[in-house]
Amino acid sequence: MKTNNPELNPSRTSKTPVDLMIQGGTAVTMAPGQQPITDARILIKEDRIIEIGPSAEIPIPQGFPIETVDARDAIIMPGLVNAHAHTAMTLFRGFADDLPLKEWLFERIFPAEANFLSPETVYWGALLGCVEMITSGTTCMADGYFFQDQTVRAVHESGLRGLLAQGIIDFPAPGVPDPKENIRIGRDFLEKWHHFSDRITPGLFCHSAVTCCEKTLRRSQEISREYGTPLQIHLSETSMEVSEILKAHGKRPAQYLDQLGLLDSHLIAAHGVHLDKTELQCFRKKNASIIHVPESNMKLASGIAPLEGITAMGIKTGLGTDGCASNNNLDLFGEMDTAAKLAKVSTGRSDVAKAYQMLKMATLGGAAALGLEKETGSLERGKKADIIVVNLKSPHLCPLFDPVSALVYSADGSDVKDVIVDGVVLMKEGVLCALDQDEIMAKVIEISKKIRL
């Protein structure tokens, strides 16, 4: 259901979704148990996949105009799901590198956000993040930040799908100068956007169990439940966070959240670096999700999340980039490669974190963490047409023994040539269809010249 909102320009992708055919190439569908389909054909009516299979079994429909995406010499796959991002933080890419986390956050990022975030800067930063996501094959994101109306506006205009959450923290924050107002502002955000668009799910994002008090955490969850939307949080990112929560509450972070009633199937916890076995059992029992963000954890020297234990226990797990201030890009192809190799080197076992498992985390796994697995994350008849096509005509993708291996260990975001979300082509043959990349980059460069401390 879509409603008009006077704050928003008409969507840059507001054309009616056309009927579409994707033709040729190998489809890696991520549908459970399905092998790759060679010489595939996919038919899309409006926003959904209506047929998928070998070309020989699906006739070309006759009698109506159809747009075709040529996928010969390419892999067709579900769009990637970035399950933890702060999209507008593209503004701070490369602004504060190589610092200890506490200094990075409290002496650089928080002051820069306080001084330079405004509705306008968040809008342009989020738009740049959307361009980066589309051009590197991400079609759906979970985002948490401030001035979040502007991220909604940017994602709406970009044509992407997202769980977009208003940040909640018990300090003065951008757009929330009085922290006593943080819950009211969060509720207003949900009320404003919860019927706006099928592509956009509004939510709340508690910054952490250290920067939000017990009352704030409980209220955020109550309101999220009231609106039937997931609650996001950073959890167990650093050993210092674990010590502080232990000291204040006598429990480890996951047990503390469980005591407050937050640990349930709607909780999406990013990082999970220092979760112990008992905490992982809590996550499993309550069906809560953990989002793995290895590159951010590595860059801030937070540690290595126990990915092998998380997946072996069957905990819902997605993959995220985090914001560009701690990564410094939004390329999930690179993140899959890093996640696999980090798990291998940290366990001393090359047979863990296999390529298919990484690809699943970055697609169907992330979709399940966001509660969207019935709609996106795999290529199946009846699901939303959120699809990317990865070009194989590059030296680093030749020869091709195994398409899944190629996607995880050899490809990068720049190999993506076509991107479709909700049945709408957002990028074709490497060219963005709606967003003006040059205009957006010029605007962000102009803004970045003012970002100084």
Distance (Å, whole) CA 420 – CA 197: 17
Query: Which of helix, strand or coil describes residue 78?
Result: strand
Distance (Å, whole) CA 358 – CA 65: 38
268 or 397: CB nearest Zn ion = 268
85 or 359: CB nearest Zn ion = 85
Provide the minimum distance between the beta carbon of 271 and Zn ion in the complex, in angstroms, as a whole number: 7
Residue 412 as a binder of Zn ion (CB under 5 A): the answer is no
Provide the minimum distance between the beta carbon of 242 and Zn ion in the complex, in angstroms, as a whole number: 17
Give the distance, in angstroms, between the CA of residue 143 and the centroid of all CA atoms in the same chain.
Answer: 7
Nearest 5°: CA angle at 143, between 427 and 77?
40
Piece of 217-225, 240-248, 315-323, 395-403 that binds Zn ion (CB under 5 A): 315-323
Locate 179 and state its tokens. Answer: 């922290």
77 or 268: CB nearest Zn ion = 268
Piece of 151-159, 319-327, 410-418, 431-439 that binds Zn ion (CB under 5 A): 319-327
288 or 435: CB nearest Zn ion = 288
| Helix, strand, coil fractions of the chain, as percent rounded to 5 | 40, 20, 40
Locate 374 and state its tokens. Answer: 């019935």
Provide the minimum distance between the beta carbon of 86 and Zn ion in the complex, in angstroms, as a whole number: 6
Q: Kindly identify the residues of this chain, within the stretch 35-94, that bind Zn ion according to CB under 5 A.
A: none
Piece of 51-59, 104-112, 314-322, 424-432 that binds Zn ion (CB under 5 A): 314-322
Provide the minimum distance between the beta carbon of 334 and Zn ion in the complex, in angstroms, as a whole number: 17
- Cis before 399 (ω within 30): yes
Q: Kindly identify the residues of this chain, within the stretch 141-160, that bind Zn ion according to CB under 5 A.
A: none
First CA to last CA across the chain, in angstroms? Answer: 44
Distance (Å, whole) CA 365 – CA 356: 11
Across 316-423, the runs of DSSP E, i.e. the strands, are 316-319, 387-391, 416-421
197 or 232: CB nearest Zn ion = 232
270 or 364: CB nearest Zn ion = 270
Burial, 186: exposed, middle or buried (Cβ in 10 Å; 0-12, 13-18, 19+)? buried
- Cis before 5 (ω within 30): no
Provide the minimum distance between the beta carbon of 234 and Zn ion in the complex, in angstroms, as a whole number: 5
Provide the minimum distance between the beta carbon of 389 and Zn ion in the complex, in angstroms, as a whole number: 29
339 or 420: CB nearest Zn ion = 339
Single-letter code of the amino acid located at 28: V
322 or 386: CB nearest Zn ion = 322
Piece of 98-106, 148-156, 318-326, 439-447 that binds Zn ion (CB under 5 A): 318-326
Q: How do beta strands 138-145 and 80-85 pair?
A: parallel
Provide the minimum distance between the beta carbon of 112 and Zn ion in the complex, in angstroms, as a whole number: 16
Provide the minimum distance between the beta carbon of 146 and Zn ion in the complex, in angstroms, as a whole number: 13
324 or 444: CB nearest Zn ion = 324
- CA atoms within 13 Å, Cβ hemisphere of 362: 34
Provide the minimum distance between the beta carbon of 289 and Zn ion in the complex, in angstroms, as a whole number: 14
Q: Are 369 and 317 in contact (CB under 8 A)?
A: yes
Total of chain residues touching Zn ion, rule CB under 5 A: 1
Nearest one of 32, 73, 68, 28 to 52, comparing CA atoms: 28
Provide the minimum distance between the beta carbon of 224 and Zn ion in the complex, in angstroms, as a whole number: 18
271 or 384: CB nearest Zn ion = 271
Distance (Å, whole) CA 236 – CA 252: 9
In this chain, which residue has its C-beta nearest to Zn ion? 322
Distance (Å, whole) CA 344 – CA 322: 22
Q: Kindly identify the residues of this chain, within the stretch 320-339, that bind Zn ion according to CB under 5 A.
A: 322
Residues that bind Zn ion (CB under 5 A): 322
